[in-house]
């Protein structure tokens, strides 16, 4: 049996979302701080949820592990992101394992119920990463920063958004497997007809053409299986 389309979509989108979310979690660029007073014009601070880096754009010198003098890591949106983003990655991995067991590309028939459960797990993982990304974006200009500096969204936050959306879409696609499961449960199982059973369990050999003509006139064996040349 061919793998259903919704399962293929889910297995493509969710791993892509996992990679984007992983990059957004680890890369220290959720927010960029530029035009910092008493600093060279080309100095940019890149703040993530784990580290703060200082980069001079003219020379591309980059130094991470900067001291948090303004209490950036003590803010609630950053703390929430530190907890939910790694948890989302773990839940995504679990959902992908369950999805692989449900889709079963190496088997003739997939397990629609297991694939649907995997879709719900992946949907949850996408929401777990979308919540801190949205909250951080809302509070981006309220988080501590040097006065007079310019604040912009970093690429890590954008990747986290995209990864969350892909995981949500992939989870919804896999959750559509519940529809196939419900159709299989509602489909009636018809018992075999007596004609089919008789046709499968009986056969008759013909010794001469007169037996074939007599059987045609009788009408008892013709309805089950027509005579062929090898019976003559």
Whether 193 is covered by a domain: the verdict is no
| pLDDT score recorded for residue 195 | 42
Whether 125 is covered by a domain: the verdict is yes
State the Cα–Cα distance between residues 132 and 83, nearest whole angstrom. 9
State the Cα–Cα distance between residues 78 and 64, nearest whole angstrom. 18
| pLDDT score recorded for residue 117 | 93
Whether 201 is covered by a domain: the verdict is no
Residue 139, number of CB atoms within 10 A of its CB: 13
| Total of domains in the chain | 1
Whether 100 is covered by a domain: the verdict is yes
Q: Structure tokens of 77?
A: 């949106």
State the Cα–Cα distance between residues 174 and 115, nearest whole angstrom. 6
Residue 44's beta-bridge partner residues? 55
DSSP E strands in the chain: the ranges are 31-34, 43-47, 52-56, 61-64, 150-153
Q: Structure tokens of 125?
A: 């993982």
Residue 31: give the domain boundaries.
5-183
State the Cα–Cα distance between residues 168 and 126, nearest whole angstrom. 5
Whether 99 is covered by a domain: the verdict is yes
| pLDDT score recorded for residue 189 | 52
Kindly report the CATH number assigned to the domain that includes residue 68.
Answer: 1.20.140.150
pLDDT in tens, the chain (232 residues): 577 888 889 999 999 999 999 999 999 999 999 988 888 888 999 999 999 999 988 888 889 999 998 999 999 999 999 999 999 999 999 999 999 888 876 677 778 888 899 999 999 999 999 999 999 999 999 999 988 899 999 999 999 999 999 999 999 999 998 876 655 565 555 455 444 444 444 445 556 566 656 665 655 544 455 555 544 4
Distances (CA, A) of 90 to 5, 84, 97, 158, 210: 26, 10, 11, 20, 77
**CA neighbor of 32 nearest in space, from 53, 49, 47, 22:** 47
Whether 210 is covered by a domain: the verdict is no
Whether 170 is covered by a domain: the verdict is yes
Whether 77 is covered by a domain: the verdict is yes
State the Cα–Cα distance between residues 39 and 79, nearest whole angstrom. 28
């Amino acid at each position: 049996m061919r793998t259903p389309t919704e399962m293929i979509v889910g297995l493509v989108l969710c791993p892509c979302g996992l990679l984007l979310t992983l990059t957004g979690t680890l890369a220290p660029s959720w927010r960029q701080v530029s035009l910092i007073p008493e600093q060279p014009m080309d100095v940019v601070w890149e703040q993530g949820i784990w580290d703060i880096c200082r980069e001079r754009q003219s020379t591309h010198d980059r130094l991470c592990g900067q001291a948090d003098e303004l209490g950036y890591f003590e803010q609630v949106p950053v703390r929430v992101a530190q907890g939910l983003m790694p948890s989302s990655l773990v839940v995504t991995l679990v959902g992908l394992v369950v999805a692989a067991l449900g889709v079963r590309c190496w088997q003739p028939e997939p397990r629609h119920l297991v694939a649907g459960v995997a879709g719900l797990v992946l949907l949850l993982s996408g929401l777990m990463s979308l919540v801190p990304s949205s909250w951080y974006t809302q509070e981006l200009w309220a988080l501590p920063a040097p006065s007079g500096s310019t604040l912009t969204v970093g690429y890590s936050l954008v990747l986290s958004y995209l990864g969350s959306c892909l995981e949500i879409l992939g989870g919804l696609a896999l959750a559509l497997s519940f529809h196939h499961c419900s159709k299989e449960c509602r489909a009636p199982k018809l018992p075999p007809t007596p004609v089919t059973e008789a046709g499968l369990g009986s056969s008759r050999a013909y010794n001469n053409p007169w037996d074939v003509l007599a059987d045609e006139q009788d009408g008892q064996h013709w309805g089950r299986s027509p005579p062929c040349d090898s019976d003559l």
